[in-house]
Amino acid sequence: MCGGDVDEDNAWVNLTSASRVPTGVQVKGSAGDPDATTSVQVIAKISGVEVGRFSVASGSAFIRTLPARYGDTVCLTAVNQGAGVGETACRTLAVRFDPFGSFDELSPGPSGLRVRGWVIDPDTASPLTVSVRVDGRLHTALVASTTRTDVAASYPAYGGDHGFDLLVPAARGDHTVCVTALNVGVGVDTALPCRTVTQGGAPVIDHFLVRAPDYPTPRMEVDVRVGTRDATQVSVWRGPTPNGPWTDWPTPHSTWSNPAGYWEMDLTVDWGRTYCYLATAYNAYGSHTPPAVCATTWAGAYPQPARVGATGVSDTSMMLSWDDVAMGEAEWRLVRSGVPDVVLAGTPGTGRMSHLVTGLQPGTQYCFLLGARSPGWAGNPYFFCQWTAKAAADPTTLQGVAAMNLWNCDPRGRAGTVWSTDANGRWVRQGALPNSLVAGACGPATSAPAARVTLPGGRTTTLAVVVVDGRYCVADDPYDANCRVWQTPPTLGDPKGITENRLLLG
């Protein structure tokens, strides 16, 4: 062609798209040749292998479906007519025959494990069959035909009827679920990536205790523990027999939000009666109700022991004595915190009973419960306390007191309780500090009753203990203005006489 560029004579082709469709590979574009006298022929190749030819009127658009074969590129070449050469246009496209899809969800729930996703076989627009395995075992095979509009939007040539959504029954614990799409035509099955989830279950009550503790007033301890620690509610009811009828007791106790269990002290019981309790733990998966548990309180209708006292009290022992109840008691039970109960054979009608308690600590108060029992009844227990004598020489007592100066004050403005030692070294409750000393401002314990004691070395001082909201303050010399509050004094015993009653300042 005179006066022209040879490129102007080339046959050209534009490949605007290439996509996989059920019947093959669909290509869209246009082709032409300036020198064409007939239709332009186009050669189609996938990864270099010719898969077909078709003709296009020069300068016209085309949509054609080509046979599919494995490959990663689709190229079209326009065959030139006359002067020039034919040009080639290519698009990247993974042409495959194996099914593909997505395992979108594996979630636990009360109805089972939800398994949801979608699959497509490139060779067909029809729904595909999938197999579902749970923990390595085949659970089911089903046709994935649930409508998925998102899939239809992404793969319009295949439509949207390719979803699967099912519930798989599963016990509590970890489970692995795998989904396989079964191939149609050319290709092989495709296993989607497996997923693992932890399935819940109904809560399990593995500990249910009801007991009537030995105590001066009637009460029932109810202890429910949920071993699975996943309860959303624990309900406890009370009734007269193991079969009910069940009611709530006076204050609401029918619900409890602790996932690990329930504990309550029922103070609305009477002496000498049997009470039964029924517990149920709930969550979204179900509930668990173990058999009812019953217990009987001590029978208050039967008398307490009389003239209970202690003789021969030393720093490490004491002799307890009391009158028997003369009602044919089979045994006496002596209860002291922290040690095994002492059971003594009953001797009805003989008058006085006695028991020697040994292994005690000097200067310490001990509290006891004493009650008579026989088959079919238990007497109302008697509660009493007794101090041991203070050791004659205690090298640790009152050492280093000069370093324990404290203010007797309470920043919350509540009066403190003052304790001091008596002539025998025992702690005695003296009363409350005046509010003027403990409310708002701190000051020396000028009004605190105290005891004069002699320290090592012969120095005489005054000591008092102030208890304010459970914090202990030791005051050395009420006229000393260098005191401060100790939250938890590591060497101070408990002046209330429950556990340790000597002042130990090491």
Same domain, 195 and 272: no
| Mean pLDDT to the nearest integer, 24-38 | 94
pLDDT at residue 170 above 50?
yes
| In a domain? residue 41 | yes
Higher pLDDT, 153 or 211: 153
* The one-letter amino acid at 92: T
139 falls within a domain: yes
Q: Given this model, what pLDDT does residue 155 score? A: 95
* Pair (330, 425) in one structural domain: no
Residue 167 has pLDDT above 80, yes or no: yes
Same domain, 242 and 291: yes
Residue 375 and residue 458 in one domain: no
Residue 349 or residue 415, greater confidence: 349
Pick from 30-39, 164-173, 186-195, 209-218: least confident: 209-218
Residue 217 has pLDDT above 60, yes or no: yes
Residue 281 CA neighbour count, 13 Å, CB half: 26
Confidence of residue 380 (pLDDT cuts 50, 70, 90): low
Express each pLDDT in 439-480 by its tens digit.
233 333 333 333 343 433 444 444 444 443 333 444 433 333
Last residue of a domain, one of 273, 296, 319: 296
336 and 291 housed in the same domain: no
Is residue 378 very low, low, confident or very high in pLDDT (cuts 50, 70, 90)? Answer: low
* 56 occurs within a structural domain: yes
One-character DSSP codes across 234-300: EEEEEESSTT---B--SS--S----TTEEEEEE----TT-EEEEEEEEEETTEEE-PPPEEEE--BT
Residues 111 and 69 in one domain: no
* Chain centroid offset of residue 375 CA: 44
Where does a domain end: 73, 95, 117? 95
Cis amide bond preceding 245, omega within 30: yes
Q: Based on the fold, state whether residues 406 and 490 are members of the same structural domain.
A: yes
In a domain, 257, yes or no: yes
Over residues 285-290, the mean pLDDT reads: 93
DSSP character at residue 305: P
Q: Can you read off the two tokens belonging to residue 98?
A: 């194996």
Token digits of residue 436:
């003027």
Sorting pLDDT into bands at 50, 70 and 90, what band is 433? very low
Do 260 and 349 share a domain, yes or no? no
63-115 residue pLDDT tens: 999 999 999 999 999 999 988 899 999 999 999 999 999 999 999 999 999 99
pLDDT value at 150 more than 80: yes
pLDDT at 131: 97
CATH number at residue 151: 2.60.40.10
Where is pLDDT greater, at 167 or 304? 167
Average pLDDT over residues 382-403: 53
Q: Distance between CA 159 and CA 162 in Å, rounded?
A: 8
Q: Please give the average per-residue pLDDT across 21-41, as a whole number.
A: 94
Judge whether residue 393 has pLDDT over 80: no
Is it the case that residue 414 has pLDDT exceeding 70? no
**pLDDT digit string, tens, across residues 357-370:** 999 988 788 888 88
Residue 153 has pLDDT above 70, yes or no: yes
Which residue among 199, 218, 248 closes a domain? 199
With residues binned 3-state (H G I as helix, E B as strand, rest as coil), the percentages for the chain, rounded to 5, are: 5, 50, 50
Predicted local confidence at residue 327, as pLDDT: 63
Indicate whether 401 and 483 sit together in one domain.
yes
The answer as to whether 223 is a domain residue is yes
pLDDT tops 50 at residue 407: no
Task: Calculate the CA dihedral of residues 147, 148, 154, 157 and round it to 10 degrees.
Answer: -10
Q: Do residue 284 and residue 317 come from a single domain? A: no
Give the SS3 label for residue 435.
Answer: helix
Cα Rg of the chain, angstroms: 46
Residue 165 has pLDDT above 90, yes or no: yes
Residue 217 lies in a domain: yes
Which pLDDT value is given to residue 24? 94
Q: Which domain holds residue 426?
A: 392-506
User: Does 353 fall in a domain?
Assistant: yes
- Per-residue confidence (pLDDT) for residue 260, from 0 to 100: 78
> What pLDDT score does 85 carry?
92
Same structural domain, 107 and 189: yes
The winner for highest mean pLDDT among 182-186, 221-225, 369-373 is 182-186
Q: What confidence score (pLDDT) does residue 328 get?
A: 64
Does the pLDDT at position 59 exceed 70? yes
Asked whether residue 301 is assigned to any structural domain, the reply reads no
H-run or E-run covering 150? helix 149-154
Domain count, the chain: 5
Tell me what pLDDT residue 216 has.
Answer: 62
Tell me the pLDDT tens digit for each residue of 195-205. 999 999 999 99
Residues 90, 104 share a domain? no
User: What value does the mean pLDDT take over residues 181-209?
Assistant: 94
